[in-house]
């Protein structure tokens, strides 16, 4: 039995750097946000449209992922409300801004393999190409022996290219809180052509850093090489500056609560049991939360807002309206449930709670389900940030509810944990060296 090395380190989240793990030792990525989620200049309809395009592909995914990239085809990663990090790829290393996306698997990036002395094309005979074909819209050309892909998105945009293997560079945090440099070989999609909205000049990132749980995601590739444990964590800052922390490893907090992942699902599906508002459980039929390929609750960092099935959404809105009826008058703005407010939302709105299997509850403060819009007269305008996916019994928890919390994705134990966290306070990393039996999914 391989020896296990365990160490604990305390780091302060002032510099918004995140830990990756090399041999169990954390390393760092810095997170940014392309445009602050709280930007009042953005219409909710713009955010809904961006999320809607993302969710179309999510609903097409199958348990074995044969249709395509889970989720990645339905969202546009180059516009508002996206968290991203800077990667270094190749030799010599070049920097790329890539979105942190827990709903996608295979990393995609604009990349010129001719500029890197360590880049190599992935051939049709490579086992990773077979995995890519099973998990995405990949093909293999017999004439060129080159593993390639084409993705078509719900808004008519598309991207195509071929798979490349090259070095990922990152910084490690070693025992004694010293730092060092490390590299690991990963396979990623080298995008050669973008069409439609993917060509817009205001796009903020170069690609996708896929953190799904299938075999070609970043975390699965690195853990299969025993470079990292099969766990990662993030804390997305919710203030106007954005940013946050990404850790390839486990952040440990004493008040962390966990709920098991629903087995045999392509996404990070959780067993949602009920929703409460102001301490009162809402009257929602349990079948609304049942899990199947197109039903249930999903955690997805690539979704900006959050979404509820129609029945749950209506019950949620009614409960909020009833709770605030003595203080504010609900109004509709462009089809969105909004409120004109002259006081602090914390003094007016109740807390909500999403209650999951295992007794884990995700507590939402008013700022976790409300988004501020442009003021009217002397009143602030706050709108509900939850929407519906028409005709679908699907709950998607996106950046709106995930911000200002630590989320831990423990793939080894098949569970997800969370805890509220102020981004300037310290956190603890569990640095456990992967044993020889560790394998990626």
Task: Name 128's bridge partners.
Answer: none
Residue 302: helix, strand or coil by DSSP? Answer: coil
Place of tokens 């039996």: 437
Distance between CA atoms of 48 and 359, rounded to whole angstroms?
31
Are the CB atoms for 249 and 21 separated by under 8 Å?
Answer: yes
Are the CB atoms for 259 and 407 separated by under 8 Å?
Answer: no
Are the CB atoms for 290 and 235 separated by under 8 Å?
Answer: no
Are the CB atoms for 384 and 398 separated by under 8 Å?
Answer: no
Handedness of CA 196, 199, 205, 206 (dihedral sign): positive
Q: Name the active-site residue from 51, 101, 137, 206.
A: 101
The separation between CA 437 and the C-alpha centre of its own chain, rounded to angstroms, equals 27
Is 300 an active-site residue?
Answer: yes
Reference 30, options 300, 411, 423; nearest CA is 423
Task: Name 308's bridge partners.
Answer: 388
Task: Name 165's bridge partners.
Answer: 120, 187
Distance between CA atoms of 63 and 134, rounded to whole angstroms?
11
Is 101 an active-site residue?
Answer: yes
Q: Name the active-site residue from 126, 300, 368, 399.
A: 300
Question: Which tokens is 49 given?
Answer: 């449209």
Reference 82, options 60, 57, 112, 104; nearest CA is 104
Distance between CA atoms of 289 and 95, rounded to whole angstroms?
42
Residue 121: helix, strand or coil by DSSP? Answer: strand
Cα radius of gyration rounded to whole Å, the chain: 21
Q: Could you tell me if residue 81 is left (phi over 0), alpha (psi between -120 and 50 degrees) or otherwise beta? A: left
Question: Which tokens is 312 given?
Answer: 């749950």
CA distances (Å), 243 to each of 83, 233, 404, in order? 7, 14, 11
Catalytic residues: 101, 300
């Amino acid at each position: 039995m391989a020896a296990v090395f365990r160490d604990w380190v305390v780091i302060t989240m002032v510099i918004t750097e995140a830990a990756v793990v090399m041999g169990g030792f954390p390393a760092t990525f810095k997170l940014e946000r392309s445009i602050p989620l709280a930007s009042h200049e953005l219409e909710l309809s713009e955010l809904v449209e961006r999320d809607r395009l993302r969710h179309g592909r999510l609903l097409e995914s199958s348990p074995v992922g044969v249709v395509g990239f889970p989720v990645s085809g339905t969202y546009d990663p180059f516009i508002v409300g996206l968290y991203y990090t800077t990667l270094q790829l190749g030799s010599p290393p070049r920097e790329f801004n890539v979105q942190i996306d827990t709903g996608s698997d295979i990393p995609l990036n604009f990349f010129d393999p001719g500029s890197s002395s360590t880049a190599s094309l992935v051939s049709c005979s490579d086992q990773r190409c077979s995995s890519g074909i099973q998990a995405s819209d990949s093909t293999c050309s017999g004439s060129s022996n080159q593993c390639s892909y084409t993705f078509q998105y719900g808004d008519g945009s598309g991207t195509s290219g071929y798979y490349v293997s090259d070095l990922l560079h990152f910084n490690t945090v070693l025992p004694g809180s010293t730092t060092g440099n490390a590299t690991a070989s990963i396979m990623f999609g080298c995008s050669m052509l973008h069409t439609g909205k993917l060509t817009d000049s205001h796009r903020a990132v170069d690609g996708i850093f896929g953190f799904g749980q299938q075999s070609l995601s970043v975390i699965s590739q690195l853990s299969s090489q025993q470079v990292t444990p099969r766990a990662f964590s993030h804390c997305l800052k919710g203030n106007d500056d954005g940013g946050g922390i990404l850790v390839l490893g486990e952040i440990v907090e004493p008040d962390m609560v966990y709920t098991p992942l629903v087995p045999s699902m392509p996404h990070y599906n959780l067993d949602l049991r009920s929703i409460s508002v102001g301490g009162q459980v809402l009257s929602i039929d349990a079948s609304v939360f049942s899990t199947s390929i197109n039903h249930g609750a999903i955690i997805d960092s690539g979704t900006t807002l959050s979404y509820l099935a129609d029945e749950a959404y209506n019950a949620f809105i009614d409960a909020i309206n009833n709770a605030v009826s003595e203080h504010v008058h609900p109004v509709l703005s462009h089809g969105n449930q909004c409120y004109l407010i002259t006081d602090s939302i914390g003094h007016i709105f109740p807390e909500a709670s999403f209650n999951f299997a295992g007794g884990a509850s995700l507590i939402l403060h008013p700022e976790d389900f409300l988004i501020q819009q442009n003021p009217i007269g002397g009143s602030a305008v706050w709108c509900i940030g939850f929407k519906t996916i028409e005709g679908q019994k699907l709950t998607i928890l996106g950046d709106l509810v995930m911000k200002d919390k630590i989320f831990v994705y423990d793939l080894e134990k098949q569970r997800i944990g969370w805890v509220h966290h102020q981004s300037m306070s310290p956190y603890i990393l569990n640095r456990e060296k992967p044993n020889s039996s560790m394998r990626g999914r």
